[in-house]
Structure 1
Amino acid sequence: MRRSVALRVFAAVATGAAGAAVAVGLPSLEASAAAVGSPIGYASLNGGTTGGNGGTTVRATTGTQIHQALCSRASSSTPITIEVQGTINHGNTTKVSGNSCNTAADKIELKQISNVTIIGVGSGAVFDQLGIHIRDSSNIIIQNVTVRNVKKSGSPTSNGGDAIGMESTVRNVWVDHVNLEASGGESAGYDGLFDLKDNVQYVTLSYAYLKNSGRGGLIGSSESDTSNSFITFHHNRYENIDSRTPLLRGGIAHIYNNYYYSLNESGINSRAGARAKVENNYFEDSMNVLGTFYTDAAGYWQASGNILDNVTWSAPGSETNPAGPSMPSNTSISIPYAYGLDNASCVPNIVRSTAGANTGMRTSTGNCSTTSNPSPTPTTPRPTTPSPTTPSPTTPPPTQPSGTNLSIGAGSDGSSKASGTSYGDVRDGSMSTYWSPNGSTGYISIKWGSATTVSRINIREASGGGAIGSYRVLNADTGAVLKTGSGSGVITFTPTSLKKVTFDILSASGTPRVGEFETYAS
């Protein structure tokens, strides 16, 4: 039996609906705008998640304008970035019709569409009592927004009570640096903060702040809804939540480097055959943080590196199978992407300084420190091109590494490769062969049978491919990030003894071609 626990703190929010604002003239601001950064996790697979990158950008200050932007596209898949500023609520959100959209008046409706970014800018974007609904859609990014007090009962209602909800064949969604919050549990009219059901796959929730809710979120709406899978939760902050952080039914989830504080009833609830890799999280002042709860349909987990700080556990029962107190693993899960893994001891500080909207879009470096990304700001026109008579400053190219290329004779592997390419082509000493990922992002690794010291790599791009954008260099033995940057060429970092080094391509202008991945001791 579930114990009835009231949420400890509620900051009641009663914001009245504003008068309807129906101005739908949308300024087109700038071509080729993009979300900030690129997703890590399952959203980076299956072709990647780029949202509206490469399309036009418009500004919206009402929900109606958001819908108008979707409906004004040439097609339902035409890329678009919608910069949102101000408060979006029922009073300024109406249904808009068009061939490239399918909207509704009581929610922000992303239905039967693709290639869209919604990003908060300026003084911030707040979706007040109005949920975001994603249905039959793909390649969606939601970044730097607050969604609060969405109700399924009472007044006003929206999106079935979910702050962000996805359902019915949704693929590749990245939700990042958001606040998702309620002011109570189900009895107060709220449902989940982040719910996925009916065949949702390849999703990442990162740097989110979820708080003051009875239910954090679920993957699968019933014990038979097990088609949802490949979900990553990393560097999120859960606070004052009764349960479902998340509830998993079937599928695979990767849950790492999250900070859980005051989980009042239960936390990660793996059931109905779900498999969760739970690593390097920090659980504080909480109860039943991992296990199978409220069902006899077992779920599974692989747990490692987690810290339990004042965590209590229920006694096992017919419908209660807590993983504690030592949280031994009962399955094994292989993660198919590269990621940096902070030590659990520094997770509270890292997450408190990075998670949520309007936090400067800071992220973890993967080694217990943070890096500042540019905060999203309203787009401005590009500066004029300098006169041809005025030389532009240039940076000298890095020095070509000296010594022996350690990749020759080593092994290699990586993410999914494009047809006709091979991992071994990056270490054969020939620029006439190459490896390409299956899309614009992916990773390639060089590996040795024993520890090898490496301090420089040289990424040489073969002609004809898309230019490499942002990247990470990883110590694949530990997951530590050795270097981040953009472009190819010589990359220098602190000498590191390792058995495997990974070059992780986070963005590119097309499908990149890595002709050679050279490694050097100095």
Structure 2
Amino acid sequence: MRRKVALRLTAAIGATAATVATGVVLLMPEASAATGGVTGFATQNGGTTGGAGGQVVSASSGTAIHTALCNRASSSTPIIIQVSGTINHGNTTKVSGNSCNTAADKIELKEISNVTIVGVGSGAVFDQLGIHIRDSSNIIIQNVTIQNVKKSGSPTSNGGDAIGMESTVRNVWVDHVNLLASGGESAGFDGLFDMKDNTQYVTLSYSTLRNSGRGGLIGSSETDTSNGYVTFHHNLYENIDSRTPLLRGGIAHIYNNYYVSLNESGINSRAGAKAKVDNNYFKNSKDVLGTFYTDAKGYWQTSGNILDNVTWSATASDNNPAGPNMASTTTVSIPYSYTLDNASCVPSVVAATAGANKGLQVSTGSCSVTAGPTSAAVTTRATTGTTTTRPATTAAPTTRAPVSTTAAPTTVSGTNLSLSAGADGSSKADGTSYGNVKDGNISTYWSPSGSTGQISIKWGSATSISRINIRPASGSGTITGWRVLNADTGAVLTSGSSNGGVISFTRTSLKKVTFEVTGASGSPRIGEFETYA
């Protein structure tokens, strides 16, 4: 029943926003936002506070995360784990203890409660390693990137889910995260955000979900209807084939999300589920709401949504699209208070707030943004397992810049391999083209639809390269952060903050190389993306 995946890599990891001083890491707002900032259904059933009030521990490996969980006095002792760096299979092992139940191939939050995992420093990336929440409650995950988690191929983790919850899970808040894949089921990936087997009172807010065949589900089958009470708000879904989300039974509140390029279907309400769908913006998408691939109908209540270049399929026995009018078929009562942004400003609000390393900015509810809830002035030593409290000061904290390179030359000798290659990328600004970066003309260019995005050069067979030359076009905004990716594997070849020029890295054989703009002042314009052996 799965459809063909047609994906464009568009990972957008936001500009660095963590505050640090030499030897000291400022306690990020995430840790206290648990009580002041939690929203949606995660506020119900007693609320979601995560590890608030518990010990603050730093971790730069998956093993350190597991060790922090296992060193607690009990499985319910509150703890805040501040994560930095890249977490992967190579640094994630099983750790044993009376207060934990961990595994080597995933971050395992199993049979525990009262935990916050929050990214700090220059960012936290869970690379090809998912987070699994099972038989647990009161969990917060904030300000992290989880990418390229696979269920087939190598390596595998968490059944292919970036974040997966199952078996009596209660009160989870996932906020300001990036959930990224690089393909659909045929490429080894599954869902980005899945809930099943009695998972309830969950909120996903201010997050980005990209480049996946499956955005996520609530309920694994038509008989798994014990899940629900889930809120999705101010999230970006981009280049997703389906399941944004797939809802089987239960209730979901879906508001102020920005949906771009839903390739096959979007919100799929099935098996008696009810979805309240308010003030979302749907763009360049197909069948954004309805009951799809089944005759077990679900229901929806809609208001204030904007449809921008949305197409609809015909109604059939197993296909019941809500469009073109998207009329309500039920009513849904929401037990918590919330304020809706007008759908017309959702794209700009979501662009400013959604994802990791965005400074925890949130919507004011009136088409503007503000910093997220902040904690009391507390700083913590960045040594594992210790916490130091300091008085508040009025001095502004120092911001750690992205990894920087020395000034790069603007020309390079040799054959520009891009001239005979193809090109693709993330969403592009009107009037620009991917092919412009390989036409040998610096006056034509590609520009992302926002300030960040990706542009790729690709070949039909493996090609060895060790240098690229990024040549900005006239009028380009200043690039303040970038990464070069092996798009075949998702590996980061190098990163930096220079505004273009020649970038060198270890010689690599690949079919596709990606230049990812992670931060920019203004709109960047890439005139030429040259590649060299």
Report the TM-score when normalising by structure 2.
Answer: 0.67
The 10-residue stretch of structure 1 (4-13 or 38-47) with the greater mean CA deviation from structure 2: 4-13
Cα gap change, 1:378/1:108 in structure 2, threshold over 3 Å: closer, same or farther? farther
The 5 Å alignment of 1:13-412 reads 34-36=31-33, 37-373=36-372, 379=380, 381-384=388-391
Q: Deviations over 1:240-270 (max 9, x none)?
A: 0000000000000000000000000000000
- The 1-side partners of 2:143 and 2:290 are apart by 31
- The 2-side partners of 1:255 and 1:272 are apart by 18
- In the TM superposition, residue 162 of structure 1 has moved relative to its aligned partner by 0.0
Partner amino acid, structure 2, of 1:101: C
- The 1-side partners of 2:213 and 2:392 are apart by 54
Residue in structure 2 matched with residue 435 of structure 1 by the alignment = none
Partner amino acid, structure 2, of 1:257: N
- In the TM superposition, residue 375 of structure 1 has moved relative to its aligned partner by 8.1
Q: SS state of the match for residue 379, structure 1?
A: strand
- The 1-side partners of 2:161 and 2:91 are apart by 19
**For the Cα contact (< 8 Å) 1:33–1:56, is it kept in 2?**
no
- In the TM superposition, residue 295 of structure 1 has moved relative to its aligned partner by 0.2
Q: SS state of the match for residue 332, structure 1?
A: coil
- The 2-side partners of 1:82 and 1:151 are apart by 25
**For the Cα contact (< 8 Å) 2:249–2:273, is it kept in 1?**
yes
- The 1-side partners of 2:62 and 2:9 are apart by 27
- The 1-side partners of 2:305 and 2:129 are apart by 35
**For the Cα contact (< 8 Å) 1:207–1:356, is it kept in 2?**
yes
Cα gap change, 1:76/1:327 in structure 2, threshold over 3 Å: closer, same or farther? same
Report the TM-score when normalising by structure 1.
Answer: 0.69
Partner amino acid, structure 1, of 2:318: E
Q: Deviations over 1:92-144 (max 9, x none)?
A: 00000000000000000000000000000010000000000000000000000
Cα gap change, 1:33/1:295 in structure 2, threshold over 3 Å: closer, same or farther? closer
**For the Cα contact (< 8 Å) 2:128–2:149, is it kept in 1?**
yes
Cα gap change, 1:192/1:33 in structure 2, threshold over 3 Å: closer, same or farther? closer
- The 2-side partners of 1:165 and 1:378 are apart by 32
**For the Cα contact (< 8 Å) 1:193–1:213, is it kept in 2?**
yes
Structure 1: segments with no counterpart, 5+ residues: 14-26, 387-522
Q: Deviations over 1:357-411 (max 9, x none)?
A: 001100001111100137899735433599xxxxxxxxxxxxxxxxxxxxxxxxx
Partner amino acid, structure 2, of 1:34: A
**For the Cα contact (< 8 Å) 2:25–2:380, is it kept in 1?**
no
**For the Cα contact (< 8 Å) 2:93–2:105, is it kept in 1?**
yes
Q: Deviations over 1:462-521 (max 9, x none)?
A: xxxxxxxxxxxxxxxxxxxxxxxxxxxxxxxxxxxxxxxxxxxxxxxxxxxxxxxxxxxx
- The 2-side partners of 1:116 and 1:67 are apart by 12
- The 1-side partners of 2:347 and 2:340 are apart by 14
- The 2-side partners of 1:311 and 1:113 are apart by 43
Q: Deviations over 1:337-359 (max 9, x none)?
A: 00011000000000011000001
**For the Cα contact (< 8 Å) 1:201–1:229, is it kept in 2?**
yes
- The 1-side partners of 2:149 and 2:374 are apart by 26
- The 1-side partners of 2:197 and 2:215 are apart by 18
- The 2-side partners of 1:323 and 1:140 are apart by 34
Q: CA RMSD in A?
A: 2.3
Q: Deviations over 1:418-449 (max 9, x none)?
A: xxxxxxxxxxxxxxxxxxxxxxxxxxxxxxxx
- In the TM superposition, residue 10 of structure 1 has moved relative to its aligned partner by 3.1
Cα gap change, 1:263/1:28 in structure 2, threshold over 3 Å: closer, same or farther? closer
**For the Cα contact (< 8 Å) 1:360–1:375, is it kept in 2?**
no
- In the TM superposition, residue 35 of structure 1 has moved relative to its aligned partner by 3.8
- The 1-side partners of 2:324 and 2:278 are apart by 16
Q: SS state of the match for residue 260, structure 1?
A: strand
- In the TM superposition, residue 12 of structure 1 has moved relative to its aligned partner by 10
Residue in structure 2 matched with residue 6 of structure 1 by the alignment = 5
Cα gap change, 1:272/1:384 in structure 2, threshold over 3 Å: closer, same or farther? closer
Cα gap change, 1:43/1:341 in structure 2, threshold over 3 Å: closer, same or farther? same
- In the TM superposition, residue 34 of structure 1 has moved relative to its aligned partner by 2.5
- The 2-side partners of 1:245 and 1:286 are apart by 12
- The 2-side partners of 1:155 and 1:323 are apart by 39
**For the Cα contact (< 8 Å) 2:11–2:180, is it kept in 1?**
no
- In the TM superposition, residue 28 of structure 1 has moved relative to its aligned partner by 12
Partner amino acid, structure 1, of 2:166: E
**For the Cα contact (< 8 Å) 1:121–1:378, is it kept in 2?**
no
Q: Deviations over 1:58-79 (max 9, x none)?
A: 0000000000000000000000
Q: SS state of the match for residue 302, structure 1?
A: strand
Q: Deviations over 1:148-167 (max 9, x none)?
A: 00000000000000000000
**For the Cα contact (< 8 Å) 1:280–1:306, is it kept in 2?**
yes
- The 1-side partners of 2:309 and 2:115 are apart by 42
Q: SS state of the match for residue 192, structure 1?
A: coil
Partner amino acid, structure 1, of 2:94: K
Larger RCO: Structure 1 or Structure 2 (Cα < 8 Å, ≥ 6 residues apart)? 2
Partner amino acid, structure 2, of 1:134: I
**For the Cα contact (< 8 Å) 1:8–1:240, is it kept in 2?**
yes
Q: Deviations over 1:297-331 (max 9, x none)?
A: 00000011000000000000110000000000000
Cα gap change, 1:270/1:384 in structure 2, threshold over 3 Å: closer, same or farther? closer
Structure 2: segments with no counterpart, 5+ residues: 13-23, 382-387, 394-533
**For the Cα contact (< 8 Å) 1:38–1:50, is it kept in 2?**
no
- The 1-side partners of 2:360 and 2:52 are apart by 18
Q: SS state of the match for residue 57, structure 2?
A: strand
- The 1-side partners of 2:326 and 2:194 are apart by 26
**For the Cα contact (< 8 Å) 1:64–1:93, is it kept in 2?**
yes
- The 1-side partners of 2:298 and 2:95 are apart by 43
* Rg larger in structure: 1
Q: SS state of the match for residue 102, structure 2?
A: coil
**For the Cα contact (< 8 Å) 1:83–1:378, is it kept in 2?**
no
**For the Cα contact (< 8 Å) 1:71–1:96, is it kept in 2?**
yes
Partner amino acid, structure 2, of 1:42: F
**For the Cα contact (< 8 Å) 1:35–1:141, is it kept in 2?**
no
- In the TM superposition, residue 279 of structure 1 has moved relative to its aligned partner by 0.5
Q: SS state of the match for residue 70, structure 1?
A: helix
- The 2-side partners of 1:334 and 1:181 are apart by 32
Cα gap change, 1:385/1:181 in structure 2, threshold over 3 Å: closer, same or farther? closer
Partner amino acid, structure 1, of 2:9: F
The number of residue pairs the alignment matches comes to 372
